[in-house]
Structure 1
Amino acid sequence: MLYPEHAYLPLLWMLREFMLQNNALLQKLKQNLRDTTPSVEGLVKGTDKSFGFLEVDASTSYFIPPPQMRRVMHGDKVRAYVRTENGRDSVEPFELVAPALERFIARVQKREGKLAVVPDHHAIRTQVSCRIAAEAKCQQADLQEGDWVVARLLSHPLPEKKNFFFGEVVQKIASAEDPFAPWSVILARHQLPHQAPDLQDLPLPSLEELAVGRTDLIHLPFVTIDSASTLDMDDALYIEAKADGGWKLQVAIADPTAYIPYGTPLDQEAQQRCFSLYLPAREIPMLPEALSHDLCSLRAQQVRPALVCQLELNTQGAIEQHTFQLALVQSQAKLAYDQVSDWLENTGSWQPETPELAALLHTLNDFAQARLQWRTHNALVYPDRPDYRFVLDPQGQVTEIKAEYRRQANRLVEEAMIAANQCAASTLAAAQSTGVFNTHTGFAEEQLQQAKTLLVAHGLYDAQMPAETLNTLEGFLQVRRALAQHPQGVWLEQRLRKLQNYAEIRAQADTHLSMGLPAYATWTSPIRKYGDMLNHRLLKQSLGLAESDLVIDEALLAQLNERRRLNAMAERDVRDWLYARYLSQPEQLACKRPAEILDISRGGLRVRLQDIGATAFMPASLIHPNRDEIVANLEEGTLLVQGQVQYRLGDTLEVQLQEVREETRSIIARPFA
């Protein structure tokens, strides 16, 4: 029997109320269950399988099952419920604390016409469905499989209660087959400029205007000594031997602040960049090339404005006095490091063009040797390490990697620059009480006691001395010199380095312990470093030749430190990519190579290939077949196999490459058998 529709309404209302009440009860029950379920917070660590782990701290991690792993990504910081089943703990992430990715570099994947990207990260293989961003200067049709893009994550499965990641493509960087992708991709990753700035219609003063208030030193035969290909020449040198012994050295430094007033748009652009960026086979100047490569560069036979430091040194290489002055100079010759070194070392065919130039180079060499001896006894000098230069063909492929060692001409220029920078530091500290100072304050405060314990255990420090003495100039010098004589000094130095602060740029003078100097302020590379431009302006203030409106605040110091870090990371990343590209060639995989152990962990060894400078990882599984018989003693910096010390930090060994993958820039090595 059918009833009228309105007759069912009371029943429907009762059913609705029952469902609502039970839904509320159900929600309350679920909430109570959540409240009583233990939870943890940690970082998601992906694996090459479908599962992962949640690392809570250095000693605690939990298994993330595949269904849960699909809702998170390597590097996500999450909160998760801990579940126990069959005696095994696992976790179920329920809250995203911080995503691993926001803006990221990725490669395009297309499946059935749908756009997706995979982040460029060795531990992330998660696919992110994408759309094209409104500001992107490309269309979906412009993107092909494997192209490089900048992407932005818009939604994450965890807070959105979805089962997929979603983002948008912001910019196309390079095509999949572009041989120059390493440079473009890495610059985009770190959001660094791709080219030199524009001159911005800057009104340039004439040489006559620049000459006002400057001493005319054009008659002095200054010379520049740089790499043969260098265009941005910051420094030129002139020296005379004093009749009573010692030397009078003049260090002329290019003066870009003569062209760029403080606070102008071009000055602000230089402040934003902070440094010229030097990548393998590519330079991105801080200043417009019209200035850095021409008007400011101390080119041979060209009159240039300069800031000049005149130093008087005794026969032991100690600086007795110094002065600064604005001047006009003219380099008489552009000399190359290798040619001058060949001549000083009595090799090669190059000869100075005149007897006067030969005498100047001999005098500079005498000064440099005395100065090096002074620093050896009064500061710190470290063993030379080679630089590695990539040789590329026109298609951007690496044909060779050359180890380039410091030679006599390099040391000659280096000693002159270090001495001049010491003079700048003392002048700024005395006259301005502020500046851009390079500092290194030694051991981190929280690591001081550990450093002392390690040094005492190896007879390198008096147990009765307070740990704080290690961070004094005298204490640090004493330890460094003792390390140089210790039979285990190499690996001890590696361990102690991990306990030290990073070098830092500060506005007040402080010690630079790793150089063994009471203060240090660079001003000798103003074409390449904004901090050096600032010190030029401050030195001019000390001479009464500049306005005093210059402000060095915490924001500026943070920018200098951060940009230095980013530039170093960019250079490292491009190098790692080129190393992987070069070493993936079959003939390179077969080579036996000498290597130095840089780091020891539970997973294996990180080593530097000494012939080319690349860093490789040697997993424990390739060191010994039984992983349970390998123990990493992180405190001692050793790796034990079957209870015996097999490897130690700083040791050298012979290795062979096991696998090289350019797509992840990973180089895997094994002991050479």
Structure 2
Amino acid sequence: MQDDLVKILDYFKKRPGTWILARELIHHFKIPMEGRRSFHNLMQALVRSRQLIRGKGHRYLLAPSTNIGPHHKGRDQGGLKKGERDSSQKASGIESIIKEFRLREAFPQKVQDETRHFSQEKMAGDLKGRRDLRSLVMMTIDGETAKDFDDAVGIQSLSRGHFRLWVSIADVSHYVQPRTAIDREAHQRSTSTYFPARCIPMLPEVLSNNLCSLVPHQDRLTMTAEMDFDATGLLVQSRFYPSVIRSRARLTYREVKQMILDNDAALQKKYASIYPDLKLMEGLCDQLRLRRFERGSLDFDLPEPEIVLNLEEGKVESIAKALRHKAHMMIEEFMIVANEAVATYLTSKMSVTVYRVHDVPDREKMKDFREFIHNMGLGLPGGHKITSKNLAQLIQSMRGRSEERIVNYLLLRSLKQAEYSVDNCGHFGLASPCYTHFTSPIRRYPDLIVHRLLKEALGSSPLSVSVKDRSARRGQMQEMLTHCSEQERVSMKAEWASRDWAVALFMKDKIGKEYEGIICSVTDFGFFVELKEYFVQGLVHIKNLQGDYYVFHEKAHKLQGRRTKKAFKIGDLVKIRVKQVNVEKRRVDFDLAISSRSSQRLSGSL
């Protein structure tokens, strides 16, 4: 038992300030069903001994007094002080999520003091050594509510059907210097966190929404990747340099779609000086996507929820599937190719650099996935060694089929998480041998490190890390990147929690109503149903399944009655009734409608 306690505590010590779900621990330590009662007893023992703090929803946090060791020295995660109690129960909505996940909201006074030195007027003296791109037609393309515009794109048609693409990224490294208060705070946060109608930024607003934001008709300092492509979308040459740009327009994805897909004449006239470039970008995008998918890049069609929040009335107006179309794809392709080009360049120039890596899938998980789709009458191309190209072929074969969403969802869950590292193992999901993150330094700290390394490689900046010894520098950088990967996961969990809160808020006046939905996930405590009418999920708890004792079959993703053999499995179409909604706990509970006590197979796509 003592060994088990030590292992659990070690797991938490590597993730200071992070709330961890019990089911995450169960999955990590591969605890079988028969051992879970003992596991929960161990967790309670750690809570009673004040080594862990228990939160809502079976979440646990390492107690501050337990957070010891040189690796964590000085790392302020906003934890509870001695004698302080978790007040997240009393807070509501987004505020409770901020407290629950220990997100750093207010900027320290030292950071605020440093930001006072920044101003637009001082920029004139910062143009030395920069390439002047202000005469180029550059534009930003973002969502409707975006404020931190960190990337601008421009294009030019060359002879023989070739293209020249400029991807200019806000030069955050010019303002955020190493070992300053702003830099330390940005590293602690590592990422911006986005909630419905709200953002907790990585950088103070004077930078994220002003000086570093590539707003139209204003001079802005950038780092530019200039890339030449042949008529087939093959990258033939790339150049990198500090620059200054002046964006011609702040476009939204909707506006770009209306111009290039819907042929909106009014918008085409409004943006007459930009529209021809958008058509060029559309053509290059098609070539880049074709090349990427040919090499085996995975393209999951798993839409995100689009939440419309009415702040004045304190309610959620709607939750629908966010549309993804050509405008999104254009920016996605341009950012991917820029990231790859920078990664390749830094690999050739630097002894230590930053990679965004995505390791090959776990063999056992792939075996289980193959078995599951086999039971659905589907096969996986290739032999026992799974490649991204095999999986890409499967995804393509599922296009338009009723099982597409379920297969994509399960496949995504079977893959490993991407992370940051100084060791390059490639990016499995993108089928890219060399990849990094360069394009979002306003909201991702690893991108800021990459910008500093790029300047160093170009000879326009001194060493960004004081330790010149290669092995010491490597270790120092990996420690920074490990923290960034951990904080990225904390931020993602907080964003998921905010969606759960919005869903509960949206569904609270729908108790008793019946809806059709699809079983999208099955666990040992019940199954989750995604509604057809709204982009909403809720839980049918196993205790609410009447008339039998249901057993969880993990590999088959189903619950089956021991006596009747009635089964509920992923992909089944069911009719549910909204039983209970708890906004504070961010839970929506369903039970089966009388007309749906027997499930049926999916007959239509979501």
TM category (shorter chain) comes to: 0.7 to 0.9
8 Å contact from structure 2 (residues 368, 555) kept in 1: no
Aligned-partner Cα distance in 2 for 1:492–1:405: 20
Q: What one-letter code is carried by the residue in structure 1 that aligns with 2:56?
A: H
* CA 492–231 in structure 1, closer or farther in 2 if over 3 Å, else same: closer
Which fold has the larger relative contact order, with Cα–Cα distance below 8 Å and residues 6 or more apart in sequence? 2
Which residue does the alignment assign to 2:193? Answer: 277
Structure 1: gaps (5+ residues): 1-37, 44-54, 65-73, 79-92, 105-118, 125-149, 155-167
2:427 to 512, 519, 530: 512
Matched, 1:342 2:258: yes
2:391 counterpart of 1:479: yes
Q: Distance in 1 between matches of 2:457 and 2:572?
A: 49
How far did residue 395 of structure 1 move? Answer: 4.6
Distance 1:444 1:333 in 2: 45
Quote the offset at 1:41 in angstroms: 8.3
User: Match for 2:394: what amino acid?
Assistant: A
Distance 1:199 1:645, change over 3 A: same
Structure 1 pair 607/99, CA: closer, same or farther in 2 (3 Å)? Answer: farther
Aligned partner of 2:32 among 58, 77, 81:
58
CA distance in 1, matches of 2:495, 2:170: 25
Cα offset, 1:444, TM superposition = 2.6
Cα distance 1:560–1:122, how it changes in 2: closer, same or farther (>3 A)? closer
Match status 1:364 vs 2:364: no
Look up the SS of the partner of 1:315 in the other structure.
coil
CA positional deviation for 1:521: 0.7
1:572 and 2:496 aligned: yes
Q: Which amino acid aligns with 2:500?
A: D
The reply to whether residue 527 of structure 1 matches residue 442 of structure 2 is yes
Check 1:387–1:452 CA distance in 2 against 1; reply closer, same or farther (3 A cut).
Answer: closer
The alignment-based identity, stated in percent, is 22
Find the aligned partners of 1:654 and 1:515 in 2 and give their Cα distance: 38
1:239 to 149, 155, 158: 155
Q: CA deviation at 1:482?
A: 3.2
- Partner residue, 2:354: 436
Q: Compare 663-672 and 262-271 and name the one that shifted more.
A: 663-672
Change (3 A) 1:369 1:535: same
Name the amino acid aligned to 2:308: F
Structure 1 position 332, deviation (Å): 0.9
Question: What are the Cα deviations for residues 342-393 of structure 1, in whole angstroms up to 9, with x where unaligned?
Answer: 2222266533424321111111122222222222222232225143223123
Q: Which residue does the alignment assign to 2:536?
A: 614
Q: Which residue of 1 aligns with 2:578?
A: 657
Conserved 8 A contact 1:437-1:507: yes
Q: 3-state DSSP class of the match of 1:342?
A: helix
Bigger Rg, which one: 1
How far is the alpha carbon of 1:447 from its aligned partner? 4.7
Give the helix-richer structure, 1 or 2. Answer: 2
Write the distance in 2 (CA, Å) between the matches of 1:263 and 1:233.
25
Other-structure match for 2:569: 648
The equivalent residue for 2:20 is none
Taking the TM superposition and a 5 Å limit, the aligned residue runs for 1:90-239 are: 96=45, 99=48, 121-122=56-57, 168-170=83-85, 181-195=92-106, 198-202=111-115, 203-204=117-118, 206-239=122-155
**Counterpart Cα distance in 2 of 1:434 and 1:56:** 35
- Of 437-446 and 270-279, deviating more is 437-446
SS at match of 2:248: strand
Aligned to 2:557: 637
Contact persistence 2:302–2:405 (CA under 8 A): no
Equivalent positions of 1:251-290 (< 5 A) are 251-290=167-206
SS at match of 2:223: strand
Cα offset, 1:99, TM superposition: 4.0
**Higher-strand-fraction structure:** 1
User: Greater CA deviation, 312-321 or 285-294?
Assistant: 312-321
- The alpha-carbon distance between structure 1 residues 489 and 534, as it changes in their structure 2 partners (threshold 3 A), is same
Contact 1:658–1:668 at 8 Å: present in 2 too? yes
SS of aligned partner of 1:429:
helix
Count of equivalent residues:
532
Change (3 A) 1:659 1:208: same
Is the contact made by 1:388 and 1:612 (CA closer than 8 Å) also made in structure 2?
no
In the aligned structure 1, how far is the partner of 2:309 from the partner of 2:229? Answer: 40
SS in 2 for 1:201: helix
Going from structure 1 to structure 2, the CA distance change for 1:241 and 1:350 (only over 3 Å counts) comes to: same
The 8 Å contact of residues 196 and 285 in structure 1, kept in 2 or not, is answered as: no
- In 1: Cα distance, 2:166 partner to 2:373 partner: 42
State the 1:196 CA deviation: 5.1
Task: Give, as a single letter, the amino acid of the residue that structure 1 aligns with 2:165.
Answer: L
Shift of 1:511: 1.5
Conserved in 2, the CA contact under 8 Å of 1:434 and 1:509? no
- Structure 2 equivalent of residue 545 of structure 1: 460
Pairing partner for 2:337 from 404, 409, 419: 419
Q: Is the 8 A contact 1:495 1:637 kept in 2?
A: no
1:604 partnered with 2:519: no
Q: Could you report, residue by residue, the CA deviation over 1:228-253 in whole angstroms, capped at 9, with x for unpaired residues? A: 33221101111012220131110111
Q: CA RMSD in A?
A: 3.5
Instruction: Tell me, in whole angstroms, the C-alpha distance in 2 between the residues paired with 1:172 and 1:643.
Output: 46
- Which 5+ residue runs of structure 2 have no aligned equivalent? 9-28, 60-78, 466-472, 596-606
Q: 1:426 to 1:597 in 2, by over 3 A?
A: farther
Question: Does the Cα contact within 8 Å between 1:595 and 1:655 map onto a contact in 2?
Answer: yes
Letter of the aligned partner of 2:555 in structure 1? Answer: E
Indicate the SS of the match to 2:159: coil
Structure 2 CA distance for aligned equivalents of residues 427 and 328 of structure 1:
21
For 2:322, give the aligned amino acid: E
- Listed one character per residue, the Cα deviations across residues 198-232 of structure 1 (whole Å, up to 9, x for unaligned) are 44235448223211111111110101111233221
CA-CA distance at 1:598 after TM superposition: 3.1
Residue number in structure 2 paired with 1:77: 42
For 1:169 and 1:495, the matched residues in 2 are separated by: 41
Q: What's 2:485 paired with?
A: 561
Q: Distance in 1 between matches of 2:309 and 2:528?
A: 25
SS in 2 for 1:326: strand
Q: Please give the secondary structure, in 2, of the residue aligned with 1:526.
A: coil
Q: Could you tell me the TM-score, scaled by structure 2's length?
A: 0.78
1:313-352 residue pairs with structure 2 within 5 A?
313-346=229-262, 350-352=267-269
Partner residue of 1:670?
A: 591
Q: Distance in 1 between matches of 2:49 and 2:329?
A: 45
Aligned equivalents of 1:100, 1:361: Cα separation in 2: 62
Q: Name the amino acid aligned to 1:396.
A: G
Q: Confirm or deny: 8 A CA contact 2:93 2:584 kept in the other structure.
A: no
AA in 1 matched with 2:175: Y
1:60–1:343 CA distance, 2 compared to 1 (3 A):
same
Shift of the 98–554 alpha-carbon distance from structure 1 to 2, 3 Å rule, reads farther
Per-residue CA deviation, residues 505-560 of structure 1 (Å, 9 max, x unaligned), is 11122211122222221111111111100001111112111122424533212210
Q: Residues of 2 paired with 1:309 and 1:102: CA distance?
A: 49
Return the offset for 1:425.
1.7
d(CA) in 2 for partners of 1:544 and 1:41? 51
- Offset of residue 593 of structure 1: 3.9
Question: Offset of 1:311 from its aligned partner?
Answer: 1.2
- Between the aligned partners of 2:80 and 2:483, the Cα distance in structure 1 is 25
Native 8 Å contact 2:172 2:212 kept in 1: yes
Whether contact under 8 Å (2:285, 2:330) holds in the other structure is: yes
SS at match of 2:194: strand
Relative to 1, partners in 2 of residues 1:101 and 1:493: Cα closer, same or farther, differing over 3 Å? Answer: farther
Query: How far apart in 2 are the matches of 1:62 and 1:367?
Result: 53
1:284-323 residue pairs with structure 2 within 5 A?
Answer: 284-323=200-239
- Give the distance between the partners of 1:194 and 1:213, measured in 2 at CA: 36
- Displacement after TM superposition at 1:316 (Å): 2.5
After superposing the two structures, state which structure 1 stretch, 272-281 or 636-645, moved more: 636-645
